[in-house]
């Protein structure tokens, strides 16, 4: 028997893997969509209730998934409140989760639309106030993977929640941004994109990158270009400037985290 062709469901949560929550969500999906639906664990180690961290990680990963992918993202500090459960269609993919700003980058894409997950036919029979990942979001993702159109779930949401994302600011020959993510290696990933740096018109080797108490000279191509224990700056796999420590944690070395100010200067500056 040929297995049915279903789009993948990609899961992102802040649940961790010590409890049964992720496994139960997968059980609900398999019970509705069948055993052949591809399930991808993007990450379950989002810092608890950190919607912005989830947003950044999902935005970095989603472009690599095929059209039709259903992204099931549950980082939901407002569970049980008046926040809405939604499905978003954007860029040929679907996003299921709470209407708390998690889907901001996708809602800002041309043609993006959102609908309320309102129809009880696409939920579990009993819905708890504390586990919508199991009772609302996992069933919705499974039905979407089976081909149910998002508009069948409920009315269109005309003003979904969008988080304010600070723009990178240019002042003269300097770009001002922030750390938006600290990865598991302690690398500081910023909101300063490669195209921002190109806009300075400066040699990548000549720019200075300042974060916290330290300044790094130049953008290198890889970690191997500096000695063990040295700080470095480069454009990482996300297409954004990162500050790293070869063989260690830049976050620990600099004593900074998400929200720390970062300056990329295109002209010589005093050592700090």
**pTM (whole model) above 0.85:** yes
Q: Strands 39-43 and 9-13, how do they pair?
A: parallel
User: Rounded to whole angstroms, how far apart are CA atoms 272 and 269?
Assistant: 9
**pLDDT > 70 in the chain, percent:** 96
- Tell which of 127, 152, 177 closes a domain: 152
Both tokens of 12, joined, read: 């992102």
Residue 272 domain-assigned (yes or no): no
- Is the pLDDT assigned to residue 271 strictly greater than 70? no
Q: Strands 174-182 and 9-13, how do they pair?
A: unpaired
18 and 138 within one domain: yes
Indicate which CATH number applies to the domain containing 246.
Answer: 2.40.30.90
Q: Among the listed ranges 110-119, 165-174, 261-270, which one has the minimum average pLDDT value?
A: 261-270
138-145 vs 21-33: helix crossing angle, rounded to 10: 30
Predicted confidence (pLDDT) per residue in 75-85, tens digit: 999 998 999 99
Residue 161 domain-assigned (yes or no): no
Residue 34 domain-assigned (yes or no): yes
Q: Which residues have a Cβ under 8 Å from the Cβ of 228 and sit 6 or more positions away?
A: 246, 247
181 and 72 within one domain: no
Give the domain range for residue 251.
169-265
Q: 3-state DSSP: the chain helix, strand, coil percent, rounded to 5?
A: 25, 30, 50
Determine how many CB atoms are found less than 10 A away from the CB of residue 168.
Answer: 18
Bridge partners (DSSP) of residue 86 are 97, 116
The pLDDT of residue 218 = 87
DSSP 117: -
| CA atoms lying within 13 Å on the CB side of residue 78 | 13
Are 249 and 231 within 8 A, CB to CB?
no
Mean pLDDT for all residues in the chain: 93
Q: How many domains does the chain have?
A: 2
Predicted confidence (pLDDT) per residue in 202-245, tens digit: 788 889 999 988 999 889 998 889 999 999 999 999 899 999 99
118 and 20 within one domain: yes
130 and 49 within one domain: yes
H helical segments located in 116-246: 132, 138-145, 194-200
Q: Which residues have a Cβ under 8 Å from the Cβ of 48 and sit 6 or more positions away?
A: 14
For 202, phi then psi, to 5°, come to -105, 155
Place of tokens 């180690």: 45
């Amino acid at each position: 028997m040929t297995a049915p062709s279903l789009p993948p469901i990609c899961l992102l949560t802040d649940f961790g893997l010590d409890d049964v929550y992720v496994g139960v969500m997968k059980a609900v999906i398999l019970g509705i969509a069948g055993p052949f639906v591809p399930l991808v664990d993007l990450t379950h180690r989002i810092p608890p209730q950190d919607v912005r961290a989830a947003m950044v990680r999902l935005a970095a990963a989603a472009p690599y998934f095929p059209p039709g992918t259903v992204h099931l993202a549950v980082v939901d500090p407002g569970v049980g409140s008046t926040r809405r459960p939604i499905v978003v269609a954007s860029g040929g993919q679907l996003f299921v989760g709470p209407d708390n700003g998690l889907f901001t980058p996708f809602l800002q894409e041309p043609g993006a639309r959102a609908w309320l997950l309102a129809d009880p036919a696409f939920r579990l029979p009993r819905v708890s106030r504390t586990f919508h990942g199991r009772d609302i979001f996992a069933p919705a993702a499974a039905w979407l993977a089976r081909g149910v159109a998002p508009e069948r779930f409920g009315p269109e949401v005309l003003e979904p929640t969008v988080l304010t994302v600070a723009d990178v600011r240019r002042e003269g020959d300097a770009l001002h941004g922030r750390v938006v993510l600290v990865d598991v290696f302690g690398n500081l990933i910023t909101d300063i994109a490669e195209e921002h740096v190109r806009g300075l018109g400066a040699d990548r080797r000549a720019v200075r990158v300042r974060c916290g108490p330290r300044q790094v000279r130049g953008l290198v191509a890889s970690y191997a270009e500096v000695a063990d224990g040295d700080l470095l700056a480069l454009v990482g796999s996300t297409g954004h400037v990162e500050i790293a420590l070869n063989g260690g944690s830049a976050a620990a070395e600099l004593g900074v985290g998400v929200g720390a100010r970062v300056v990329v200067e295109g002209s010589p500056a005093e050592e700090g």
